[in-house]
Amino acid sequence: MPDRKTVLVFGESQNDTAAIAELVKCLKSELHVETRRQPIILDRGAAAVKRKKMFADIAGVVRAERVRRPVHAVILHRDCDAIEPRHIEVSEGIEKEAGKALAPTPVVPATPAFELETWWFLFPDAVAAYRPGWRRLARNGQDVGKLLNAKEILRRDLRPHATSKVRDYTESDSPGIARKVRELALCGRPRARSDSFLLFAQKVCSL
């Protein structure tokens, strides 16, 4: 796809990168988005020497990709493991550290607070379309970026009646939910508020 701008996505896990890639496609469909399994993004508590090596390894992947085609941007996912506005500090840290290794390629941080699951509260229609047997999310208008342990809260909110045979949410559901967000074109119509998602969306749309 030589006429489309190629964006590479790295994250904490394969589920995360797949989900982030779907959101990027939803936000800016003209981008050509690809995920990379390696290197895995280390959490923000990792030692500085390990983070430096990680970003150097990512830069190596990008250089190798540039042999085939231009790389328009790199998106790096890392959960904040803290409520908003911590995402600002985490985002700026990624831009500073990764920016040195990847320059001149733009770096877009994807830093959900508390975890990626925080963002699924924004799109109850997508979650319901993905797994109709779950309870419908009902946090419309709430500032979900303030939820501690968002993954556990999401799992609890979605858990069906005790007699239901529908399973609980797991991290492997994230790519499918994100795909529904894209298919239903919901990125511009969140039902709740998350400043970390708004920041991510603004940066992607500016590419």
User: What pLDDT, in 10s, does the model give residues 27-55?
Assistant: 999 999 999 999 999 887 788 899 999 99
Distance CA(42)–CA(60), nearest Å, equals 17
Which tokens belong to 91?
Answer: 């985002």
pLDDT over 90 at 162, yes or no: no
Rounded to two decimals, the pTM is: 0.95
Residue 179 has pLDDT above 80, yes or no: yes
Tell me whether strands 31-35 and 73-77 are parallel, antiparallel or unpaired: unpaired
